[in-house]
Amino acid sequence: MIDENVNKNLFAAFPPISKEEWIERINMDLSGADFEKKMLWHFEEGLDIQPFYVAEEEKENFYIGRNQSNNDWEIREEFDFSEISSVKEAIHRGAESVVIKGFNLEDNQSAAVLFDNIDLNKIPTHFTSVYSFPKLLTKLKKESELRSLTLTDFKGSFDFDYYSYYLFRKEFYHSFEANRRELMVLLEKSVKLLPKFKVININAKHYHNSGATMAQEIAFSLAHGAEYLTDCTDQGMLLQNILPRMQFTFATGSSYFMEIAKYRAARFLWDKIVKKFGKVNKKNSEMYIHSVSSSWNKTTYDSYLNILRTTTESMAAVIGGSNAITVSTYDSSYKRSSEFGKRVAKNQQIILKEEVKLNKVIDPSKGSYYIESATHKLIDSAWDIFLKISNMGGFRAALENDFIFDEIEKSAAKKNMEIAMRKINILGVNQFPNLEERKIEEVNFDIRPTKAGLKVYRGAQAFEDIRLRTEKFALQNNYTPKVFLLTFGDINLSKIRANFAINYFGCAGFQVIDNNCFASVKQGLKDAKKSKPDLLVVCSSDVEYVGIVKEISASKEFDLDKIIIAGYSKDFAEEIKNLGINKFIHSRSNILDELKSYQKMLSIK
């Protein structure tokens, strides 16, 4: 046993350093540069991440874990009903529950097929994309009776969420009153027949996948859930019969630590909201979280990177305290999931559980100053938005007056601009594209934009559309547009700017012809003429550009409208423009709009 005096003497040699002392030392190292501009990460509006955290930043010390003795979660795997014969093999390989999409209510044999392939007494089964869950319940009851099975032992969920229907259509299915009546019937029957089933699913994933901020995502989902509590309690349903039958389906994005904080903040606030509705036991007030992979950040190009994305997402979901997790396959953004993709997605969770042992420790991020601070900030930001919605009359009122839609549209527009300006990087798409990759013949999806309501999309879509247009053009014309890099002068700067140009035009799928630094501009023009490029990018230092442009202009070898300068210096830009060259690419460019304009110039449609 260590002597306490030894401990005291040891720590006396390392006195605590205050926050002010840290900031003073950082400012010394910055040599006058602005602390906030250099050191803060502006994650989202009102959510600035500091470069360091200390113990004094912690607010009240509270527990945000789950009401159980470990951090275990349910590994879910998703299947179309047409794939149901694959379920047994998936269970054998580690899936612990299944999600069935598109159960056919009109087929009299569908229930028999379901029971033949899934042991509902043992395997939790979750149903989505069904137009009438009361009808599904009737079919399950009838088939279980034929097989002498005990329906009350079944575990799983129904994806019943009429507010999600409104989110995408700006109208209810039939009417709000009809939807609420259907919910009451379903709840009353489920209490008796399927007591272990979740019935109401708050599809919080839609907010994330439509471009909402993290605070909005939490606030809207909480308001969404609270509205169901109001709808049901107004009809006389007891809280103890509603709460155990609710689940929240969140999407987990790429911001690892912030996603952990998101789940902790949501769980804390839901407990606070539930207690406002009445006295409930701790277990019932706990938020049941089903986490799914974000679709917003997934890519068609360089799709193996999606495996890295879903790995960090899964870890964040586990550490954040999710009760169940569904991981999407790396290729699901552009085609039907491959068997390899399904295997990898399932194994990601199995590794986290069986090898990493993340299922053993409750609320493992507790005590991290960074995550605790982020949790508190999200709690404050989300609660402000939630109260604003409450003051409007609740979630339904906020939907009907377009508040939810308008707020997400503004957030999505801001994110889209940051992607276009490459302030948000999507690897393989708007940064560091694989120049050799071709996807036009693999892509197999039909995008059907909704006429009203939320617009679920992927952040990479706009860039991918540009690249797919180039690939389509190349297939039709047996020719890929070429960009020639005329590198000259300062070796280091010309190389840096050449790499920038390769990355830039690679995002559009153009063929980029790189070169070693030419001995003269004349030699560069000679080689360029042989290549017959569609665009010519000059890569050099700022001070050399005017002389190079004069030489290019005097040669009259190229259309000056197709000459581009890599970089932009205010000191020389006007002189270059006066010589007839008006196109520049640089770090402040709106690359998305500019690539579209180059495609238009080259008749790529």
CA 174 to chain centre: 32
User: What CATH number should be reported for the domain holding residue 530?
Assistant: 3.40.50.280
Cα distance between residue 74 and residue 99, in whole Å: 12
Quick one: 223 and 318 in the same domain?
yes
With contact defined as beta carbons under 8 Å apart, do 104 and 359 qualify?
no
With contact defined as beta carbons under 8 Å apart, do 321 and 355 qualify?
no
Quick one: 388 and 501 in the same domain?
no
Q: Which of 365, 382, 400 is the last residue of a domain?
A: 400
Quick one: 368 and 488 in the same domain?
no
Backbone angles phi, psi at 242, to 5 degrees: -95, -55
Spell out the residues 6+ positions from residue 312 whose beta carbon is closer than 8 angstroms to its own: 254, 256
DSSP string of 267-300, one letter each residue: HHHHHHHHHHH----HHHHSPPEEEEE-STT--S
Cα distance between residue 366 and residue 369, in whole Å: 8
Cα distance between residue 371 and residue 53, in whole Å: 10
Q: Residue 285: its pLDDT value, please?
A: 87
Average pLDDT over residues 530-540: 97
The residue behind tokens 């490459």 is 422
With contact defined as beta carbons under 8 Å apart, do 60 and 80 qualify?
no
Confidence band, pLDDT 50/70/90 cuts, at residue 19: confident
Q: Which domain holds residue 9?
A: 4-57
Residue 112 in any domain: the answer is: no
Cα distance between residue 111 and residue 219, in whole Å: 38
pLDDT in tens, 186-208: 999 999 999 999 999 999 999 99
With contact defined as beta carbons under 8 Å apart, do 291 and 326 qualify?
yes
Quick one: 491 and 359 in the same domain?
no
284, 244, 291, 240: which is closest to 264 by C-alpha?
Answer: 291
Residue 142 in any domain: the answer is: no
Q: CA-CA distances (angstroms) from residue 213 to 170, 179, 288?
A: 21, 29, 22
Quick one: 27 and 173 in the same domain?
no
Burial of 364 (0-12, 13-18, 19+ CB in 10 A): middle
Residue 350 in any domain: the answer is: yes
- Token reading at 339: 């068997």
Instruction: Please say if the pLDDT value at position 1 is more than 60.
Output: no
Quick one: 352 and 261 in the same domain?
yes
Q: Residue 358: its pLDDT value, please?
A: 95
Q: Residue 273: its pLDDT value, please?
A: 97
Cα distance between residue 498 and residue 503, in whole Å: 9
Average pLDDT over residues 307-332: 97
Residue 79 in any domain: the answer is: no
204, 206, 207, 271: which is closest to 243 by C-alpha?
Answer: 271
Confidence band, pLDDT 50/70/90 cuts, at residue 10: low
Quick one: 486 and 396 in the same domain?
no
Strands (E) in 134-218, as ranges, are 156-160, 197-202
Residues in the chain: 605
Quick one: 388 and 495 in the same domain?
no
The answer for 306, left when phi > 0, alpha when psi is -120 to 50, beta otherwise, is alpha
**Residue 486, SS3 per DSSP:** strand
Q: Residue 14: its pLDDT value, please?
A: 74
Cα distance between residue 43 and residue 47, in whole Å: 6
Residue 427 in any domain: the answer is: no
User: Kind of pairing, strands 47-49 and 41-44?
Assistant: antiparallel
pLDDT in tens, 473-496: 999 999 999 999 999 999 999 999
Q: Which of 330, 365, 400 is the last residue of a domain?
A: 400
Q: Which of 400, 420, 455 is the last residue of a domain?
A: 400
Confidence band, pLDDT 50/70/90 cuts, at residue 574: very high
Instruction: Please say if the pLDDT value at position 63 is more than 80.
Output: no
Residue 104 in any domain: the answer is: no
- Token reading at 77: 């795997």
Number of structural domains in the chain = 3
Quick one: 50 and 191 in the same domain?
no
User: What CATH number should be reported for the domain holding residue 371?
Assistant: 3.20.20.240
| β-sheet bridge partners, residue 5 | none
Cα distance between residue 372 and residue 13, in whole Å: 28
Instruction: Please say if the pLDDT value at position 45 is more than 80.
Output: no
Spell out the residues 6+ positions from residue 594 whose beta carbon is closer than 8 angstroms to its own: 585
**Residue 511, SS3 per DSSP:** strand
Quick one: 393 and 488 in the same domain?
no
Which amino acid is it at 529? K
| β-sheet bridge partners, residue 248 | 202, 289
Count the helix, strand and coil residues of the chain and give each as a percent rounded to the nearest 5: 50, 10, 35
With contact defined as beta carbons under 8 Å apart, do 218 and 226 qualify?
no
pLDDT in tens, 195-243: 999 999 999 999 999 999 999 999 999 999 999 999 999 999 999 999 9
Average pLDDT over residues 544-558: 95
Confidence band, pLDDT 50/70/90 cuts, at residue 519: very high
Q: Please give the share of the chain, as a percent, with pLDDT higher than 90.
A: 83
Residue 118 in any domain: the answer is: no
| β-sheet bridge partners, residue 78 | 99
Quick one: 31 and 165 in the same domain?
no
Average pLDDT over residues 13-30: 85
Q: Residue 66: its pLDDT value, please?
A: 72
Instruction: Please say if the pLDDT value at position 559 is more than 90.
Output: yes
Average pLDDT over residues 252-262: 97
CA 371 to chain centre: 19
Quick one: 369 and 252 in the same domain?
yes
Cα distance between residue 380 and residue 368, in whole Å: 18
Residue 81 in any domain: the answer is: no
321, 312, 325: which is closest to 366 by C-alpha?
Answer: 321
518, 541, 539: which is closest to 530 by C-alpha?
Answer: 518
pLDDT in tens, 351-365: 999 999 999 988 888
